[in-house]
Amino acid sequence: MYRALIAIILGASGATGFAQMSPVGTWRTIDDATGEAKSEVVITDNAGVLSGRISKLLRKGSDQNAVCDKCPDDRKDKPLIGLELMRGAKKSESKNVWEGGKIVDPEGGTVYSLKLTPVDGGKKLDVHAYVGLAFIGRTQTWVRVQ
């Protein structure tokens, strides 16, 4: 009986650790200029394809009814809360990286290629957005919401 209980506990903790090394979950984005929390994004997995939606705007004075008036595609004029910020990323077969997707900058309207890398034991997520070559772009670090 004790062995079965220990196996269940170890199995559950192992599954939790594995899940934490995935981008799936809720993340707090940080403003590059001020260092303040900007928004919360919920990343979900649908058959191995990740997408992320803005669930909260956190900046002081944020217009909770703001729309993505600069988005160039089907997201144009959609409310920021609920906006599908990222779409189409898939896990790389050779490493703990999700790539091949796109992410939109709602403030500038630019759509970038996307690479997601969990770091710090899954407590943080490096979100690399780029146009053209992957080494030309910028990386933001998002913090997992517990």
For the chain, the domains span 2-144
Cβ proximity of 88 and 72 under 8 Å: no
Cβ proximity of 50 and 23 under 8 Å: yes
- Predicted confidence (pLDDT) per residue in 58-110, tens digit: 998 999 999 999 999 999 999 999 999 999 999 999 889 999 999 999 999 99
Output the pTM of the full model: 0.83
Instruction: Tell me how far apart the alpha carbons of residues 3 and 63 are, in angstroms, rounded to a whole number.
Output: 54
Q: Give domain 2-144's CATH architecture.
A: Beta Barrel (2.40)
Bridge partners, residue 56, by sequence: 40
Residue 6: is it exposed, middle or buried by C-beta count within 10 angstroms (0-12/13-18/19+)?
A: exposed
Q: Write phi, then psi, for 135 (nearest 5 degrees).
A: -80, -5
